[in-house]
Amino acid sequence: MILPGATLGMLGGGQLGRMFAFRSHEMGYRVVVLEPDPHSPAGAVADEHIVARYDDEAALRELASKSAVVTTEFENVPAPALALLETLTRVTPPPSAVAVAQDRIAEKTHLQNAGFPTADFAAVGSSSEAASAARRLGGRCILKTARLGYDGKGQAPVSNADEAVQAYAAMGGVPCILEEMLTLERELSVVLARGADGNMAVFPVGENVHRGGILHSTVVPAAINEELSADAQGLAERVADSLAYVGVLGVELFVANKGQLYVNEIAPRPHNSGHYTIDACATDQFEQQVRAACGLPLGDTRLVSPVAMINLLGDLWAEGEPAWGKALAEPGLRLHLYGKAEPRPGRKMGHLTVLAASPGEALQRAERAYAALGGRQ
Ligand code: ADP
Ligand code: MG
């Protein structure tokens, strides 16, 4: 066990690293962040910030020498960086799991080989493969770059072979995946923590609404029956086992075709849809990340109150600083801002959560606060 007082290493300086640092500090750990941006959300609150690229070998060696364990908040860490760190110190999650999660072809192939339900898909590495994949899948599809896509970036809907060829060229001819477009009944997610001993602690299922490919809201409990909820959690647990995972894992699920579950994608880190746990669970996802990384017992994932979370994107700043006072007047509301200086459209600047007597009321009040900030309904 890595005990309080030790220093924890974080690869990546975004908001997830920032919330990890907050929780690490509460538990008595020090945090050292490696992140190229000198003004990052996590770098600003860490005890130490190594400003360097993720592939800077000297910087990685410095991080390892200072850290009892290194974890990440970012799936796009180059695989050789994690492999090097693993020779020098303890690393969670396993680099092999990060390698699967950072490439949509490896991810979907792993899921399919392990017997998990996914949307039908094909890897696309050339224009002719784009055309043949579109013909085989038929109907409406979605082309996604295999790597580096997030928040709906690097995706295009296509409905025939010509459009698939055009979209593939527009992506710059990089490796892609073509997926059948499912008619979604709901989007769910499950966040869990898994220890090195295989023990797991699973958070309640979140129900997510995306707008333009970006998460807008998460509500918990999800408006689904107990059977589907248990199935979703069980599926996420089996996915974690299949990767021999250690750490916090986010599993995005689709419900389509009359209540069937499909695995959409996995995140080898705390997940945006798990931010509700900070205010509404006995232990939150960032504390679980600390516990799993340090080999401590995992915490209680019990939901203390129905909750809704809404993301605050840079668009809210279009007419200047949002009216925080109005939102904060909402009872049960908590505001989380990530300390980003530049509010660009689509950029995640923060989130708010509202606790209420029922999930419906929590969402209604969260949306009201969001509208008071200038958010569109
Ligand atoms: P990202 O890494 O950007 O989150 P996702 O694969 O999760 O990429 O896609 C973002 C959103 O686009 C999903 O949450 C969902 O709303 C929609 N989407 C993605 N793939 C499909 C699909 N095969 N069928 C229907 N909708 C999809
Ligand atoms: Mg996603």
> Which 3-state string (H, E, C) describes the chain?
CCCCCCEEEEECCCHHHHHHHHHHHHCCCEEEEECCCCCCCCCCCCCEEECCCCCCHHHHHHHHHHCCEEEECCCCCCHHHHHHHHHHCEECCCHHHHHHHCCHHHHHHHHHHCCCCCCCEEEECCHHHHHHHHHHHCCCEEEEECCCCCCCCCEEEECCHHHHHHHHHHCCCCCEEEEECCCEEEEEEEEEEECCCCCEEECCCEEEEEECCEEEEEEECCCCCHHHHHHHHHHHHHHHHHCCCCEEEEEEEEEECCCEEEEEEEECCCCHHHCHHHHHECCCHHHHHHHHHHCCCCCCCCECCCEEEEEEEHHHHCCCCCCHHHHHCCCCEEEEECCCCCCCCCCEEEEEEEECCCHHHHHHHHHHHHHHCCCCC
Domain ranges within the chain, ordered by starting residue: 7-91, 120-180, 184-372
**What's the chain's average pLDDT?**
96
Q: Which residues contact 2 (CB under 8 A, 6 or more apart)?
A: 8, 68, 69, 90, 293, 294, 295, 296
Q: Which of 254, 269, 273, 348 to mutate to test the pocket of ligand 1 (most atoms within 8 A of CB)?
A: 254
The mean pLDDT value for 183-201 works out to 97
In which band, very low, low, confident or very high, does the pLDDT at 376 lie, cut at 50, 70 and 90? confident
Q: Whose CA is nearest to atom 17 of ligand 1?
A: 213
Q: Are 94 and 240 in contact (CB under 8 A)?
A: no
Name the CATH topology of 7-91: Rossmann fold (3.40.50)
Domains 7-91 and 120-180 share a fold: no
- How far, in Å, are 118, 207, 284, 323 from residue 253 at the CA level? 9, 10, 20, 34
Q: Which residues surround ligand 2, an ion (CB under 5 A)?
A: 252
The mean pLDDT value for 273-287 works out to 98
Q: What is the dihedral of CA 362, 364, 370, 376, to 10 degrees?
A: 150
The mean pLDDT value for 175-203 works out to 97
CATH (residue range 184-372): 3.30.470.20
Is residue 61 within 6 Å of ligand 1 at its C-beta? no
Task: Please give the distance, rounded to the nearest whole angstrom, from the Cα atom of residue 68 to the centre of ligand 1.
Answer: 36
Residue 373 has pLDDT above 70, yes or no: yes
The mean pLDDT value for 163-180 works out to 96
Residue 222 has pLDDT above 70, yes or no: yes
User: Is CATH 3.30.1490.20 what the domain over 120-180 is classified as, yes or no?
Assistant: yes
Is residue 179 within 6 Å of ligand 1 at its C-beta? yes
Task: Please give the distance, rounded to the nearest whole angstrom, from the Cα atom of residue 54 to the centre of ligand 2.
Answer: 23
247-261, 339-353, 363-377: least confidently modelled range: 363-377
Amino acid at 91: V
The pLDDT assigned to 56 comes to: 97
The mean pLDDT value for 351-377 works out to 94
The pLDDT assigned to 177 comes to: 97
In which band, very low, low, confident or very high, does the pLDDT at 377 lie, cut at 50, 70 and 90? low
Separation between Cα atoms, residue 157 and residue 152, nearest integer Å: 11
The distance from CA 249 to its chain's CA centroid, rounded to whole angstroms, is 8
Is residue 151 within 6 Å of ligand 1 at its C-beta? yes
Residue 198 has pLDDT above 90, yes or no: yes
The mean pLDDT value for 200-214 works out to 96
In which band, very low, low, confident or very high, does the pLDDT at 97 lie, cut at 50, 70 and 90? very high
pLDDT tens, 337-355? 999 999 999 999 999 999 9
Could you identify the residue written with the tokens 């600047």?
Answer: 349
Residue 104's CB is within 10 A of a number of other CB atoms, namely 23
**Percent of the chain clearing pLDDT 90 (strictly above):** 94
Task: Please give the distance, rounded to the nearest whole angstrom, from the Cα atom of residue 264 to the centre of ligand 1.
Answer: 7
Nearest ligand (C-alpha, residue 101): 1
The mean pLDDT value for 135-140 works out to 94
The mean pLDDT value for 43-48 works out to 98
Is residue 264 within 6 Å of ligand 1 at its C-beta? yes
Could you identify the residue written with the tokens 């708010």?
Answer: 352
Is residue 181 within 6 Å of ligand 1 at its C-beta? yes
**Percent of the chain clearing pLDDT 70 (strictly above):** 100
Q: Which of 75, 120, 153, 155 to mutate to test the pocket of ligand 1 (most atoms within 8 A of CB)?
A: 155
The mean pLDDT value for 235-247 works out to 98
Task: Please give the distance, rounded to the nearest whole angstrom, from the Cα atom of residue 306 to the centre of ligand 1.
Answer: 26
Separation between Cα atoms, residue 159 and residue 180, nearest integer Å: 10
Q: Is the peptide bond before 306 cis (omega within 30 degrees of 0)?
A: no
